[in-house]
């Protein structure tokens, strides 16, 4: 039995998995639960830009937690 290749590349970054998709976009998922940030897809093709986007989302999440 042969399984199709789903992800070209998987990178761990700050508790998240960055999964490169066959169409060159990225899927960002938490490594484990509980999830502080829901999984999301991005059309960005650059790994550096995906990391920057994740950093911004994490910073926003921290600001919300501190305000509460």
Length of the chain: 68
pTM of the model as a whole: 0.78
In a domain, 2, yes or no: no
Q: Which among 55, 41, 62 has a CA at the least distance from the CA of 13?
A: 55
Q: Using an 8 Å Cβ cutoff, are 10 and 19 in contact?
A: yes
Domain count of the chain? 1
Residue-wise pLDDT tens digits, 17-56: 999 998 889 999 999 888 888 999 999 889 999 999 999 9
In a domain, 60, yes or no: yes
Q: The tokens 């829901």 sit on which residue?
A: 38
In a domain, 1, yes or no: no
> Which residues constitute the domain of residue 15?
9-67
In a domain, 55, yes or no: yes
In a domain, 57, yes or no: yes
In a domain, 4, yes or no: no
């Amino acid at each position: 039995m042969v399984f199709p290749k789903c992800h070209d590349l998987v990178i761990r970054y700050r508790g998240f998995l960055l999964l490169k998709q066959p169409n060159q976009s990225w899927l960002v998922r938490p490594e484990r639960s509980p999830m502080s940030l829901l999984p999301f897809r991005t059309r960005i093709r650059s790994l550096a830009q995906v990391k920057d986007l994740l950093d911004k989302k994490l910073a926003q999440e921290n600001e919300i937690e501190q305000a509460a």
